[in-house]
């Protein structure tokens, strides 16, 4: 595999350091997704089934249902081996405990003024398939929705050509309280969740990771439904000094590179010796990996900064999805980071552990969006409504200013709605 090396200045001027939130989509991909979404919106099941056959190699036959129900999920859970079930249950317990702390209180803006918080009625969760099964993503999306109080939680995931869904995914859905699993993937699944079809009930919010076609489809349907985020390829940045163990840095970079050929894995360090050692370690470990082809296709970069302060600035400017800090003063560095989806401190907190069982969510802002976005959480599935109640006396004090502002804006009906309450009849201004 090729490891690209940069100095701080060449990295700053290079293409990988620039904003990545355009998702890297081509014009052809955008047009294809727009066409898929419109077909499902207008044609319903007919388009959904045809596109599922085209992209996933499966469509429901006579007597088959798109939906997998709760009893089938429960059977998948019962069918797991003891060690597998225990691992899923431990992960679910820790994820639930962490997200249960994301509490909220109704706020008051003064007498008669409140801000109330309610969950969305229904959520559609997307869990990728194809290269691997992701029961962890089921837990990371469904458990926060359940903690938030969402009444209906459904999940879409691509089926195999025989229509099957990995048992581990169904088992995780059972643990996480999913109501139904739809065997559908890609942009057509997002469109079906947003608009509904004869077989799929429309939802209020769509959340969960996916490939470029899923992300583009979420962009297309936003406004009809809410979305969590537009997720691009996964990223890991390791911020390290000379105290870091090169074999751990290399292993952590490779662990995320096996997700996707579009993964971006970066080491930023002020130690040229560490950069050399990590490059050597990558050459040693990658040929032995199970998903070697995927790792070799991903992008790996080493950035050598002139100082620790410069390395920190590079990391903060990049706003990585995952930021692993392996440095003697890691805790202090973490307090100086403003932009990162999640921060992992020290050699015993690898991203691979956080992907499964630590507790915080692994669905994180990508593409530099950590500058303004947050990890998926309970709050993803909540919405707020303001409530106001004004007394007659308060109205009398406030209406004058409101009428003057209505006059400034030329909105006579606004002024009249206020004047009539003062016994003045309908009027302008």
Q: In this predicted model, what pLDDT tens digit does every residue of 169-217 receive, in sequence order?
A: 999 999 999 999 999 999 999 999 999 999 999 999 999 999 999 999 9
- How high is the pLDDT of residue 194? 98
- How high is the pLDDT of residue 15? 63
- How high is the pLDDT of residue 21? 59
Confidence of residue 53 (pLDDT cuts 50, 70, 90): very high
> How confident is the model over 335-356, as a mean pLDDT?
97
> How confident is the model over 232-239, as a mean pLDDT?
94
Active site residues: 321-322
Q: Is the pLDDT of residue 47 over 50?
A: yes
- How high is the pLDDT of residue 16? 67
Determine whether 350 is exposed, middle or buried from the number of CB atoms within 10 Å of its CB (0-12, 13-18, 19+).
Answer: buried
Q: Is the pLDDT of residue 319 over 80?
A: yes
Confidence of residue 78 (pLDDT cuts 50, 70, 90): very high
What share of the chain in percent tops pLDDT 70? 97
Confidence of residue 63 (pLDDT cuts 50, 70, 90): confident
> How confident is the model over 346-366, as a mean pLDDT?
96
Q: Give the C-alpha separation, 104 to 155, whole Å.
A: 26
Contact 51, 36 (CB under 8 A): yes
- How high is the pLDDT of residue 209? 92
Q: Is the pLDDT of residue 20 over 70?
A: no
- Measuring CA to CA, how many Å separate 6 from each of 11, 51, 257, 306, 320? 5, 43, 19, 11, 17
Q: Is the pLDDT of residue 22 over 90?
A: no
Contact 415, 403 (CB under 8 A): yes
- The reply to whether the predicted model has a pTM over 0.95 is no
The residue with tokens 């992300």 is: 215
> How confident is the model over 60-78, as a mean pLDDT?
94
> How confident is the model over 129-154, as a mean pLDDT?
93
- How high is the pLDDT of residue 220? 97
Q: Is the pLDDT of residue 425 over 90?
A: no
- Measuring CA to CA, how many Å separate 246 from each of 242, 276, 397, 421? 9, 9, 69, 74
- How high is the pLDDT of residue 2? 81
- Measuring CA to CA, how many Å separate 44 from each of 41, 58, 199? 6, 17, 8
Q: Is the pLDDT of residue 130 over 80?
A: no
Q: Is the pLDDT of residue 344 over 90?
A: yes
Confidence of residue 162 (pLDDT cuts 50, 70, 90): very high
Q: Give the C-alpha separation, 157 to 125, whole Å.
A: 9
Q: Give the C-alpha separation, 205 to 405, whole Å.
A: 37
Q: Residues near 146 by Cβ (< 8 Å), separated by ≥ 6?
A: 153, 176, 177
Q: Is the pLDDT of residue 289 over 80?
A: yes
- How high is the pLDDT of residue 28? 95
Q: Is the pLDDT of residue 98 over 60?
A: yes
Architecture of the 3-23+232-358 domain? 3-Layer(aba) Sandwich (3.40)
Supply the CATH classification number for the domain 27-104+113-227: 3.40.50.1980
- How high is the pLDDT of residue 143? 98
Q: Give the C-alpha separation, 269 to 347, whole Å.
A: 15
> How confident is the model over 124-139, as a mean pLDDT?
91
- 377-410 pLDDT, tens per residue? 999 999 999 999 999 999 999 999 999 999 999 9
**Which segment of 99-113, 235-249, 318-332 scores lowest on mean pLDDT?**
99-113
Closest Cα to residue 327, out of 347, 307, 309? 347
> How confident is the model over 152-161, as a mean pLDDT?
97
Q: Is the pLDDT of residue 109 over 60?
A: yes
Q: Is the pLDDT of residue 328 over 70?
A: yes
Confidence of residue 137 (pLDDT cuts 50, 70, 90): very high
Closest Cα to residue 362, out of 380, 346, 379, 377? 377
Q: Give the C-alpha separation, 303 to 29, whole Å.
A: 32
Do domains 3-23+232-358 and 27-104+113-227 share one topology? The answer is: yes
- How high is the pLDDT of residue 427? 54
For the chain, which residues make up each domain, given as ranges?
Answer: 3-23+232-358, 27-104+113-227, 390-422
> How confident is the model over 39-67, as a mean pLDDT?
95
- How high is the pLDDT of residue 429? 46
**Which segment of 15-24, 102-111, 166-175, 299-308 scores lowest on mean pLDDT?**
15-24
- Strand 322-326 vs strand 235-240: parallel, antiparallel, or unpaired? parallel
């Amino acid at each position: 595999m090729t490891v690209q090396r940069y100095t701080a200045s060449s990295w700053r001027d290079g293409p990988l350091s620039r904003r990545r939130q355009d998702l890297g989509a081509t014009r052809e991909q955008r047009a294809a997704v727009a066409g898929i979404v419109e077909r499902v919106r207008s044609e319903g099941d007919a388009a959904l089934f045809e596109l599922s056959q085209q992209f996933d190699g499966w469509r429901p036959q006579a007597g088959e249902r798109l939906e997998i129900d709760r009893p089938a999920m429960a059977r998948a859970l019962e069918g797991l081996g003891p060690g597998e079930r225990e691992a899923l249950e431990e992960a679910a317990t820790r994820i639930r405990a962490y997200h249960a702390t994301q509490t909220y209180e109704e706020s008051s803006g003064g007498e008669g003024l409140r801000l109330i918080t309610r969950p969305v009625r229904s959520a559609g969760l997307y869990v990728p398939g194809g290269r691997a099964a992701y029961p962890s993503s089921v837990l990371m999306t469904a458990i926060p929705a359940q903690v938030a109080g969402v009444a209906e939680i459904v999940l879409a995931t691509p089926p195999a050509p025989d229509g099957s869904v990995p048992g581990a995914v169904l088992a995780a859905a059972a643990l996480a309280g999913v109501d139904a699993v739809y065997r559908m993937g890609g942009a057509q699944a997002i469109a079906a969740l947003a608009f509904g079809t004869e077989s799929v009930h429309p939802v209020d919010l769509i959340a969960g990771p996916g490939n470029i076609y899923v992300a583009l489809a979420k962009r297309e349907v936003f406004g009809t439904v809410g979305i969590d985020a537009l997720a691009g390829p996964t990223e890991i940045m390791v911020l390290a000094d000379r105290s870091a163990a090169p074999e751990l840095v290399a292993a952590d970079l490779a662990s995320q590179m096996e997700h996707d050929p579009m993964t971006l894995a970066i080491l930023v360090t002020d130690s040229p010796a560490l950069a050399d050692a990590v490059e050597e370690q990558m050459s040693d470990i990658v040929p032995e990996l199970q998903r070697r082809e995927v790792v070799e296709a991903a992008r790996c970069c080493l950035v050598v900064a002139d100082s620790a302060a410069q390395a920190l600035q590079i990391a903060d400017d990049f706003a990585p999805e995952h930021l692993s800090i392996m440095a003697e003063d890691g805790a202090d560095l973490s307090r100086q980071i403003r932009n990162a989806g999640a921060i992992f401190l020290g050699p015993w907190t690898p991203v691979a552990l956080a992907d499964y069982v630590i507790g915080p969510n692994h669905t994180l802002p990508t593409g530099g969006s950590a500058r303004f976005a947050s990890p998926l959480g309970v709050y993803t599935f909540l919405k707020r409504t303001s409530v106001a109640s004004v007394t007659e006396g308060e109205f009398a004090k406030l209406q004058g200013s409101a009428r003057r502002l209505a006059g400034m804006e030329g909105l006579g009906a606004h002024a009249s709605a206020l004047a009539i309450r003062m016994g003045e009849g309908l009027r302008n201004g």
